Structure 1
Amino acid sequence: MESKVLIFMMFLMLINPVSSTDVQANPSTNATLPCNASVAGGHIDVSLIKVDWIKNGSAIASFGEAATQIEEGFSWDTTDFINGDFSVTILKASLSLQGVYECTVNYNSSLLFSSNVTFTILAPPSLSVPQQWVVLEKEAHIECRASGFYPSLVSFTWTRDGQEIKHPDQVEGELALDGYYTAVSNLTVFPSREDQNMTFSCRVAHSGDYQELNFHLNITYLPSVRLSAVASPSKDVPLTLYCDVESFYPEEISVSWYQNGSALPELPVSDQNPDGTFKTRRYFTLSSEQRQQRGGVECAVNQPGVGYSVSEAADLDQLDPLDESPVLNKSAKASVAMMSISIVLVFLLCFGFSWRRRDEKQKSLTVSGVILPPRVVVGQKGRVTVSIEGRRVDRVQTVWFLNDTPICDTSLTETSKSNFNCLYNPLTTIHLPYGLTLTCPVTEKGPLLTSRGERGYYKLHTDGPLHSSRNGTQHLVSALTFIPQISLHKGAVFKCQVSYVNKDRIVEERVSEKFTILSPPEVSDIQLAETQNDSDVISMTVRASHFHPDVITFRWFCQGGELSPVASQASSSPRPNSEGFFSASSQCKLPRSELEKGSTKVWVSVHHMALKQPVTRETRGFIKRPCVSEIVSSNYSSNETSILGCEITDFYPPNISVTWLKLREGEEDDREEEVIEGGELWGPIQTNPRLFRLTATLDRRATHQEKKDRRGGIICRVEHCSLDEPIERKWKYGDIVAPSIPPSISVCWSSEGVGVFSLLLRGGHPKVKLLWTAGGATLTTLTSSETEEIGDDGQRELKSVCAMERSTNLLNPTNKKQERRKNGHAIRTNDAVTDPDTEGIEYIDEKPDEGNADMDRNVETTSEGDEDSDKETEDDPSALYINKVNVRRGPRENDRARLRVCLEITHPALKLPVYRTWTEPNEEISSTA
């Protein structure tokens, strides 16, 4: 006994007992803390092992004879202990898990190994450059932000077109609330025209790694502004001002008008210069009252990314000087007299040209206002018209505008290139003599509003000219048909300009009033559901969507009177969506007992100005939302068919739809590919007066490619009247699937008394874990051999083989060898499993007498292979390791315990391990006794 202790202590002295390791990991990833030890001889008895992981004095994980425990957020595989691997894995690494971890391994109550592992988080920074707008030849500060990194030290470098423009700047980051660090570096630039297309880069070095962000500067060219006034013949008429804005970039600007500090409204058209900049002229007409106020006027231009305006101001006295009342002296009076004589002479001369005045009188026109349709509804054609009367209507042309933007005809599908080249010109109709008209055709693919890039449907209609009176007056109607869109026409006005052919002067201009665009609501069915905090109260919800304007009313009724809604979004001015439409919902509640009777009728009336009649939705009875379980998979051992099942419970009414869909294989998005036929529904089965349950199943044999790739999957989609959206449950081929396990272990014996036990498992994911044990009253762990192949049906097959020899003597671990040679032939794994006729192998059932005699001989004696035989088999990789199993004798000398061989099968899909056991028959023991 003392010699054994000394030998064991010498083995422990050969082991390095202490080590230190540093481990780093990114946030939310798994990190393994290593702890590996070995003993002399290479074989570890797990029952003698005690492992402890400690951090800051607190136990993280422990393993020993008493119990095995591990804290939440950590994991380890105890089956690897036999190989000397005691590592722990941190699940979803975070800053709170940083620190020094100590691993202590004791073997047979003596310290075998100890290590310290320092775990830290390594989080790379994310980069952003929030401000990229700068002003040409003005000092600008570009900021590069690095955020979400750890540890705190980073270094910034700036480059322009690959050339370094700022030396590396090392910065200590600031700690954020989430525990990570942020840092900022600034670059001062004076942008020139050459910087317009240059690539700038912000590079950040962190813990030996680099992050780089490339960007381009958006350079703003400031405009030159010139303010002028259009000369007018009288001081009592409106005054038109215009503002020339030139040499600016980009095109998007806003021009504001001010009079005496008060803002005046205005809208856009700009042209592009040959050098790539833009120019525009903006007009604003002062009313007679505004003109009489006098004072200063100002034109201010704003550009995106520029924090100030470029403007020019002028005084109306300079732009529009008033005539002063002169004080007449004698000479002035003489001048007035001479002027009067001149006027008389001029009057006499003009009398000879009176025929011109007559012609001008004939050209006078009477133009009506713009007539709007009574209702403007989204998606329905509307029509605006202008009526024109005069003696020369046959030479009149009209141009239509939306706000101040010319409208192009988009109703035509073909373009005549030879016809005035009107592809991008305003929609113009020319009225020729003798009642003929010529409309410039424009393709439907052309832009509607060139300044905004938007399009719509527009078509011009012209009726006339018609003779309407005896004095030769003609009548003409110009109309524009359009399809209303909220994005184009909300808050807009139509404008019609009337002029003569080949004349630039606008004779008349008419502007419509602003009109309201209507869109009737789309009303859902009434959805019923249990109230979250009170199952005896049922909430009823109705939703209206896609309506405009935002004023809508919900009224709830039941048999006997009107109900009061408990929740409504109709009166809270809901915000429009991206298309400009509104949505609202209303909710009402009733006791469950009233609805479960099935006779109480509840309805809701939805009122909106776009509806000629209110929309009504009604319900009768109770609806309950189904509960859908996750998809469960199982296999048939006979034909390897996979069965997928999904439980659907607690729903009402019983009408329900279940669809199975296949996911595309190998794609990250796993989009649906096809509907799978062959699903079955078991039910619905009534469990309560108002509750049902259902089981949906799908029998399916996976293809060889699915088994190989472990990609793609199946969706179970459940649709019910209580659901706004279907409920979906996904199952992927890579998910956990239990293997097919045979009912018993296969056994065969050699002529020398060596038993070969085997088991063949099919399918399953992930791979199963197997543990062979054998003995009498107590069991000992055995060494086995596993081989994995793909069967003819494309399914994985795992073969596990364990060979053993019985003995009643205590075994010395130093006498165990990896292989054993019997009758000149090693016991080979593949032979023992697949070929029972191999030399030296036979089934125990085939020769019971001879086999039992061999067993008795092995109980009496233990055969040790000679050294040369052992050395020869060690070089053979296919040789099977032969375990020696000690079967202790009973109380009487001639009695011995029955041999038991037990295989433990562990798999994540199995809630408990599965065991397969072979026990030596009683008659075998009695015959050998």
Structure 2
Amino acid sequence: MRCKVLVYVGLLALVKHVSPREIQAGPDEYATLPCNVTLPVPVNESLITVSWISNGSAIASFGNEATQIKEGFFWRPSDFISGNFSLYVLRATLALQGVYECTVSYNSTILPSINVTLSIIAPPNLSIPQQWVVLETESQFICNADGFYPPPVSFSWTRGGQVIHPPHPVEGEQAPDGFYTAVGNLTLYPSREDQNVTFGCRVSHNGNNQELDFQLNITYLPSVRLSALPSHSSNIPLTLYCDLESFYPEEVSVSWIQNGTSLPEPPSTEQNPDGTYSTRHYYTLSPEQREQGGRVECLVNQPGVMVPVSGSADMEKLDPQDESPVLTKSAKASVALMCISIVLVFLLCFGFSWRRRDEKQKSLTVSGIILPPHVIIGKKGRVTVSIEGRRVDRVQTAWFLNDTPISDTSFTGTSKANFNCLYNPLTTIHLPYGLTLTSTASEKGPLLPSRGEMAYYKLHTMGPLHSTGSGSQQLISAMTFMPQISIHKSAVFKCQVSYIGKDKIVVERVSEKFTILSPPEVSEIQLAETPNDSDVISMTVRATHFHPDVITFRWFCQGGELSPVASQASSSPRPNSEGFFSAYSQCKLPQSELEKGGTKVWVSVHHIALKQPVTRKTRGFMRRPCVSEIFSSASSPDQTSTLGCEITNFYPPNVTVTWLKLREGEQDDREEEVVDGGDLWGPLQTQPRIYRATAFLKRRATSQGKKERRGGILCRVEHCSLQEPIERQWKHVDIVAPSIAPSLSVCWSSEGVGVFSLLVKGGHPKVKLLWAAGGHTLSSLVSNETEEIGDDGQRELKSVCALERSTSLPSRTNKQQERQKNKHALKTKAAVTDPDAEGIEYIDEQVDGENNNIDMEEDMNAEVEEDSDKEAVDDSGALHINRVNLSKGPRESERACMRVCVEITHAALKLPVYRSWAEPNEEMSSSA
């Protein structure tokens, strides 16, 4: 049989090389720097040395009887035995960026280092300042991108979803905090088609796109014409008026200037069919101003217009000064007669129209809108308008929020008619004899979009009520609403009063802006030990769901007021998506002060929505419990198993334990509470203000399949010192003892290699085996395990271990000749399944020192066979050969006897089970 080349497999060949990688994290986020290597089995933790270095500075180190780690980082030394040396960053910052090098050595052998690059990725925050632009005039728009890293960002602009300005990159400027800000610009000549069109600023950063939409506020410039009312005398006031045509928006201010000096004024506007507005402004000049003459201008100012539009005219053209003609006596008499006739006709017409004009105009008095001083979230608000007059039964009212009609959403019926009423503005019509009728208003557009976020509005009236004496009537129109911050913040209510069947609005009242309040929800004071100083207790209280954002926390103890060490209330907290604010405050005291007595510390929370401050008191000293992993007692298939969990070092003694069963599935298991079997022993006081307890769960072990055992049992511990419950999970709940063969199977090859095998059936969880061999002392061996399903359906674990002596080696020449004769060797699988087969292919544990002196001729003859045998040597299924060094006895001629032993450990076994084989004593055999 030809000699096969033996391959030496060293420890360094087991190292798993990891290529450098980049880890990206957001600001203040948790980050993991991976470092994983494969170590030989079994692992001796005392031989491990680990170090992390970044930018020439040591971050963490382990080994050589010294362990240290820099603040802001942590790792788990318990994971080192499995080859996980990862470093964890608690809060990623710009200062922590860079290359981190992980170096691991085992048994003074340095393994290849692993480099990990930590990078910070921060997306930008977009904002666009709102501004007015002038129709068909060059306008500039600015898009701000703040707080991003790293640079650059790319800006592009869209109109109606279509790109109108291609992307262009901007590096930006670095702020003092290390992040960057950039500005994108857009030049636009707005047209009428741009009204109500959505524009967008699209910013791309590090492959991710963000877009902020906005609409244009376009100003239409008016045409201005200045005129004067005819006047026949220069001694009376002169009235001027200024016509403004085709302007937008409605808000416009007109100022009057004479010879460069500003004059005072009051106006009204009308809406044109095309959506623009028209108005005429009058101004009456006093006789002194009229005599000054000169040039008069009408200046018009609009939002977004830098240079106001003006109309001007000379006083000579507006007010020509003609000399009064000299009248004769007959002419004067005719003029007097004519004036008397006009006065008589006027009095006659006035007599017939007095009653009608008095009823429609002069008899109607409308109060201002009455608002509550504060509107509280969760409570209804009410606004009221009082209308007085002789015929208020002919009056109708319509309510608006800003300029949007309000719909009555108080209907609860399911009919189609009532459903439609929810989305149509309503008008309350008052009929004679105290009857009322509700009909759809003529205004277009509902108050809210139909997305399910319906605000609550109820329109109701009271009257007409007859007042005493004058015969006039009073009508009260009111609206009840449920306030919402997103809808009613900075809003005003508007009430329009008109007559039935008339489109003209007689009176319009607009309310002042009202304040929306939401009282804070204040938590109990949470006490916890400070991580860096166990003698200091931190007390934290949180306030949520409040509005506005101004809130005050005041801490007190017996003897005076305390100063908080951390508080979000000092700076304005940011609102959430619903517009509400949240804040917290924290105070610290020595643990000895809190342990002296009960409720000695309290905090008062002050807010404008609270009539009285909210007070929270400490519930006494609290200590966070420590919860152990779940342990299990040994059991057989017919016995009841017990799961336990230790709860220690907690105070006060009130603790709640819940056992939950996890359903089938490896991720996101759903929980089912275990009803029977749970029990709690204790709490037992071990020291002053320190308790411990033990939670038990008794259950009967089952022989269900592996699929049902995928879930597990969860122990959940709740305590007043915990914001979140502590949970411990037990995966292997059903413990079944294995069936172990009574003895080892042994097979010796013609080369003097012994193959030992052991068969283990069933059992859950999987058993652990440790092979060892030697003479007077034993050394651990490397074995090979295969797992199959037997004919009876049970799992069968076959463990095989091969070894040879090192004290009785054959000579080099004889050994080579012997191996050349054995051409056909068995693979590992054959050795496992059929231990009685002849010959075994194996990999030698170490290169024989004698092989180093082989003659050159033998080496050249072996090269031919090396290529043919390389595949067999490199086969991963080849069985590992263990060398066993046997020490001789006290006498030189005494031969040591070899012993082989395997240790079987399992959770169902109280003590390990051993199977052994001993080499027979030749002297005893021969004497026999």
TM-score (norm 1): 0.60
- Aligned twin of 1:385: 384
- Aligned twin of 2:434: 435
Alignment deviations for residues 636-665 of structure 1 (CA, whole Å, 9 cap, x no partner): 474599987654322211111123446676
Deviation at 1:502, TM superposition (A): 2.2
* Structure 2 counterparts to residues 867-886 of structure 1, below 5 A: none
- Aligned twin of 1:330: 324
Q: Distance in 2 between matches of 1:486 and 1:79?
A: 56
Secondary structure of residue in 1 paired with 2:758: strand
Deviation at 1:691, TM superposition (A): 1.0
1:186–1:419 Cα change, 3 Å: closer
Secondary structure of residue in 1 paired with 2:221: strand
- Aligned twin of 1:25: 21
Secondary structure of residue in 2 paired with 1:226: coil
Q: Distance in 2 between matches of 1:518 and 1:186?
A: 38
Q: Is the 8 A contact 2:155 2:203 kept in 1?
A: yes
* Alignment size in residue pairs: 803
Q: Identify the match of residue 748 of structure 1 among 726, 740, 745.
A: 745
1:926–1:148 Cα change, 3 Å: farther
Alignment deviations for residues 624-643 of structure 1 (CA, whole Å, 9 cap, x no partner): 13233463566847459998
Instruction: Kindly indicate whether residue 471 of structure 2 is the aligned counterpart of residue 477 of structure 1.
Output: no
1:133–1:515 Cα change, 3 Å: closer
Secondary structure of residue in 1 paired with 2:308: strand
Q: Is the 8 A contact 2:624 2:649 kept in 1?
A: yes
Instruction: Kindly indicate whether residue 346 of structure 2 is the aligned counterpart of residue 350 of structure 1.
Output: yes
* Structure 2 counterparts to residues 469-548 of structure 1, below 5 A: 469=468, 472-528=471-527, 544-547=543-546
Secondary structure of residue in 2 paired with 1:718: strand
Q: Distance in 2 between matches of 1:494 and 1:542?
A: 38
Secondary structure of residue in 1 paired with 2:744: strand
Deviation at 1:757, TM superposition (A): 3.9
Q: Distance in 1 between matches of 2:395 and 2:111?
A: 99
Query: Counterpart amino acid of 2:621?
Result: I
Q: Identify the match of residue 225 of structure 1 among 204, 209, 220.
A: 220
- Aligned twin of 1:313: 308
Q: Is the 8 A contact 1:398 1:429 kept in 2?
A: yes
1:200–1:173 Cα change, 3 Å: closer
* Structure 2 counterparts to residues 373-412 of structure 1, below 5 A: 373=372, 376-412=375-411
Larger deviation, residues 771-780 vs 892-901: 771-780
Deviation at 1:472, TM superposition (A): 4.1
Q: Is the 8 A contact 1:757 1:802 kept in 2?
A: yes
Deviation at 1:438, TM superposition (A): 0.8
Q: Is the 8 A contact 1:826 1:880 kept in 2?
A: no
Deviation at 1:382, TM superposition (A): 3.2
Alignment deviations for residues 288-318 of structure 1 (CA, whole Å, 9 cap, x no partner): 9xxxx999866555xxxxxxx4667235x76
Deviation at 1:726, TM superposition (A): 2.0
Query: Counterpart amino acid of 2:364?
Result: L
Instruction: Kindly indicate whether residue 801 of structure 2 is the aligned counterpart of residue 802 of structure 1.
Output: yes
Q: Distance in 2 between matches of 1:402 and 1:142?
A: 31
Deviation at 1:787, TM superposition (A): 0.4
Secondary structure of residue in 2 paired with 1:223: strand
Q: Distance in 2 between matches of 1:55 and 1:492?
A: 59
* Identical columns (%): 46
Q: Distance in 1 between matches of 2:371 and 2:613?
A: 25
Alignment deviations for residues 190-239 of structure 1 (CA, whole Å, 9 cap, x no partner): 999999999999999xxxxxx966788969667351358999999999x9
Q: Is the 8 A contact 2:153 2:203 kept in 1?
A: no
Secondary structure of residue in 1 paired with 2:620: coil
Q: Is the 8 A contact 1:141 1:186 kept in 2?
A: yes
Secondary structure of residue in 2 paired with 1:410: coil
Secondary structure of residue in 1 paired with 2:478: strand
Deviation at 1:365, TM superposition (A): 0.9
Deviation at 1:430, TM superposition (A): 1.0
Q: Distance in 2 between matches of 1:465 and 1:256?
A: 39
Query: Counterpart amino acid of 2:758?
Result: S
- Aligned twin of 2:359: 362
1:240–1:650 Cα change, 3 Å: farther
Q: Distance in 2 between matches of 1:191 and 1:816?
A: 97
Q: Distance in 1 between matches of 2:327 and 2:123?
A: 83
Secondary structure of residue in 2 paired with 1:564: strand
Query: Counterpart amino acid of 1:433?
Result: P
Q: Is the 8 A contact 2:298 2:312 kept in 1?
A: no
Q: Distance in 1 between matches of 2:468 and 2:126?
A: 70
1:764–1:927 Cα change, 3 Å: same
* Structure 2 counterparts to residues 770-789 of structure 1, below 5 A: 772-777=771-776, 784-789=783-788
- Aligned twin of 1:890: 889
Secondary structure of residue in 1 paired with 2:346: helix
- Aligned twin of 2:28: none
Unaligned stretches of 5+ residues in structure 2: 24-31, 40-48, 59-63, 70-74, 90-95, 230-235, 263-270, 290-295, 839-867
Q: Is the 8 A contact 1:902 1:918 kept in 2?
A: yes
Deviation at 1:501, TM superposition (A): 1.3
- Aligned twin of 2:43: none
Q: Distance in 2 between matches of 1:178 and 1:768?
A: 57
1:924–1:831 Cα change, 3 Å: farther
- Aligned twin of 2:561: 564
* Structure 2 counterparts to residues 201-216 of structure 1, below 5 A: none
1:580–1:418 Cα change, 3 Å: closer
Alignment deviations for residues 546-588 of structure 1 (CA, whole Å, 9 cap, x no partner): 4556677778888xx7742433969858647434555566778
- Aligned twin of 2:689: 690
* Structure 2 counterparts to residues 770-919 of structure 1, below 5 A: 772-777=771-776, 784-789=783-788, 798-804=797-803, 809-811=808-810, 887=886, 889-892=888-891, 895-901=894-900, 918=916
Secondary structure of residue in 2 paired with 1:456: coil
Deviation at 1:379, TM superposition (A): 1.9
Q: Is the 8 A contact 1:717 1:726 kept in 2?
A: no
- Aligned twin of 1:758: 758
Asked which structure has the greater RCO (Cα within 8 Å, sep 6+), the reply is: 2
Q: Is the 8 A contact 2:224 2:309 kept in 1?
A: no
Q: Distance in 2 between matches of 1:633 and 1:880?
A: 37
TM-score (norm 2): 0.60
Deviation at 1:184, TM superposition (A): 11
Query: Counterpart amino acid of 2:308?
Result: A
Query: Counterpart amino acid of 2:624?
Result: P
1:299–1:182 Cα change, 3 Å: closer
Q: Identify the match of residue 727 of structure 1 among 725, 728, 733.
A: 725
1:411–1:129 Cα change, 3 Å: closer
Secondary structure of residue in 1 paired with 2:889: coil
Larger deviation, residues 704-713 vs 494-503: 704-713
1:349–1:191 Cα change, 3 Å: closer
- Aligned twin of 1:63: none
Secondary structure of residue in 1 paired with 2:459: strand
Q: Distance in 1 between matches of 2:250 and 2:701?
A: 64
Q: Is the 8 A contact 1:140 1:188 kept in 2?
A: yes
Unaligned stretches of 5+ residues in structure 1: 36-50, 61-66, 81-86, 108-113, 205-210, 247-252, 263-270, 302-308, 841-869
Q: Is the 8 A contact 2:740 2:761 kept in 1?
A: no
Alignment deviations for residues 311-340 of structure 1 (CA, whole Å, 9 cap, x no partner): 67235x769x99988856224999999998
Secondary structure of residue in 1 paired with 2:396: strand
1:214–1:649 Cα change, 3 Å: closer
Alignment deviations for residues 376-420 of structure 1 (CA, whole Å, 9 cap, x no partner): 433223333222221211110112233444322111245998899
Q: Is the 8 A contact 2:889 2:895 kept in 1?
A: yes
Q: Is the 8 A contact 1:758 1:802 kept in 2?
A: no
Q: Is the 8 A contact 2:383 2:480 kept in 1?
A: yes
Deviation at 1:688, TM superposition (A): 1.0
Q: Distance in 1 between matches of 2:776 and 2:416?
A: 103
1:222–1:74 Cα change, 3 Å: same
Q: Is the 8 A contact 1:191 1:219 kept in 2?
A: no
Superposition RMSD in Å: 7.9
Query: Counterpart amino acid of 2:354?
Result: R
Alignment deviations for residues 792-811 of structure 1 (CA, whole Å, 9 cap, x no partner): 99997643112456685225
- Aligned twin of 1:626: 624
Secondary structure of residue in 2 paired with 1:440: strand
Larger deviation, residues 806-815 vs 494-503: 806-815
* Structure 2 counterparts to residues 694-705 of structure 1, below 5 A: 694-696=693-695
